[in-house]
């Protein structure tokens, strides 16, 4: 072996042998790491789906509890039996308006009970499928259950609204009268914004909107407008909009950019397709008080009549 500044031949051979030796195969370790990451991601995905399913079931159970609290199921079942016996008698159909009213009430109660039973049955079926998917680790089934549970949750929420809207006029269409209040042009613009807002809301629920009358503002917006919103339970949903609505904003009509407060009133009333007799409203001429006043001007005679339905007997006064 040569030393002292000369080339160390043995060291050179060792270095050469190290460089030419084959490198270890690390691909299998990389493949194992990738599979571990995929398994971890899959486990996280399954855990997230399981958590989503549990949250959906919690929401559904809470909604069903609200349904149970708002429904008079035993009373409705007894009323169905009573109404079924009534419609079976021929004497009832001699009074057609009464018979139609009974039939409508019977159909409404049947729909409420059948919908409730279907919602309960769907909840039980989906719960059994969720348990099966959890036990068998069926990810595909869990993935398919999530939209089904979301749809069921929405249906139960809609059914709760139907139970809340149980007044006789709630299923009717609605008249919405919007009038600008104090605020001038600002109030007129605010009233027009309310009209657009209610129109978009009605269309989003599948209702139709007809403008009965409209009075435009002097500069912008409207002074007043009356809308007919047609659709099931339109009045039931819209009735809570009755009142005075206020808007505070920087006015686009003020060159100084001052902040203005505008007001607009909204009045909602039910729409009836039937005649006054069919909805239980009767006007007897004997119950009207008629007051007639006569005044004479230059070359003409003017008559004024005032009718008031608060008197039991007719009274005619002339002047």
Q: Is the residue at 95 inside a domain?
A: yes
- Based on the fold, state whether residues 72 and 132 are members of the same structural domain: yes
The pLDDT tens digits of the residues spanning 22-64 come to 555 555 545 555 655 555 655 565 667 778 888 888 888 888 8
* Same domain flag for 158 and 75: yes
Q: Based on the domain organization, do 44 and 85 belong to the same domain?
A: yes
CA proximity to 304, closest of 316, 287, 286: 316
Q: What is the pTM of this model?
A: 0.55
Q: What is the pLDDT of residue 281?
A: 64
259 in a structural domain? yes
Count how many domains the chain has: 3
Mark whether 202 and 91 lie in a shared domain.
no
pLDDT digits (tens, 9 = 90+) for 97-143: 778 878 878 888 888 888 888 988 988 888 888 888 888 777 788 88
* β-strand pairing of 222-230 with 208-216: antiparallel
Backbone angles phi, psi at 168, to 5 degrees: -60, -30
Q: Are residues 178 and 239 in the same domain?
A: yes
Which pLDDT belongs to residue 1? 46
- The C-alpha atoms of residue 102 and residue 110 are separated, in whole angstroms, by 12
Answer yes or no: is 2 within a domain. no
- Helices within the chain (DSSP H only): 9-20, 27-70, 73-87, 96-136, 139-164, 185-204, 234-238
**Does 317 lie in the same domain as 204?**
no
- Structural domain includes residue 20: no
| Mean pLDDT score of the chain | 77
Give per-residue pLDDT as tens, 76-85.
888 888 888 8
- pLDDT given for residue 313 in this prediction: 39
53 domain-assigned: yes
209 in the same domain as 127: no
**Domain range for 142:** 31-164
Residue 178 C-alpha from the chain's centroid? 21
Picking from 164, 195, 220, the residue at the C-terminal end of a domain is 164
Confidence category of residue 314, pLDDT binned at 50, 70, 90 = very low
- 151 and 71: one domain? yes
- Model confidence over 240-259: pLDDT tens digits? 999 999 998 888 887 777 88
Beta-strand relationship, 259-270 and 243-250: antiparallel
Report pLDDT digits (tens) over 14-26.
554 555 555 555 5
């Amino acid at each position: 072996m040569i030393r002292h500044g000369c080339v160390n031949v043995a060291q050179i051979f060792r270095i050469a042998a190290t460089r030419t030796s084959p490198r270890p195969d690390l691909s299998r370790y990389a493949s194992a790491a990738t599979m571990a990451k995929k398994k971890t991601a899959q486990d996280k995905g399954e855990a997230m789906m399981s958590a989503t399913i549990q949250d959906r079931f919690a929401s559904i159970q809470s909604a069903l509890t609200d349904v149970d609290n708002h429904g008079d199921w035993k009373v409705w079942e007894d009323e169905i039996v009573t109404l079924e016996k009534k419609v079976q008698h021929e004497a009832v159909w001699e009074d057609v308006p009464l018979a139609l009213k009974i039939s409508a009430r019977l159909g409404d109660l049947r729909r409420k009970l059948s919908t409730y039973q279907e919602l309960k049955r769907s909840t039980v079926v989906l719960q059994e499928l969720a348990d099966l998917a959890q036990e068998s680790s069926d990810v595909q089934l869990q993935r398919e259950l999530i939209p089904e549970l979301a749809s069921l949750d929405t249906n139960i929420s809609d059914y709760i609204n139907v139970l809340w809207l149980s007044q006789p006029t709630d299923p009717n269409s609605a008249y919405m009268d919007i009038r600008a209040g104090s605020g001038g042009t600002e109030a007129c613009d605010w009233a027009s914004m309310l009209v657009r807002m209610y129109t978009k809301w009605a269309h989003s629920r599948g209702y139709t909107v007809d403008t009965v009358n409209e009075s435009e503002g002097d500069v912008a917006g409207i002074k007043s407008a009356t809308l007919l919103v047609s659709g099931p339970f339109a009045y039931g949903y819209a009735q809570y909009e009755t009142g005075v609505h206020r808007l505070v904003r920087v006015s686009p009509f003020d060159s100084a950019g001052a902040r203005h407060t505008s007001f607009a009133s909204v009045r909602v009333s039910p729409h009836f397709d039937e005649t006054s007799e069919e909805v239980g409203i009767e006007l007897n001429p004997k119950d009207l008080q008629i007051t007639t006043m006569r005044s004479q001007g230059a070359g003409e005679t003017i008559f004024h009549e005032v009718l008031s339905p608060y008197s039991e007997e007719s009274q005619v006064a002339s002047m």
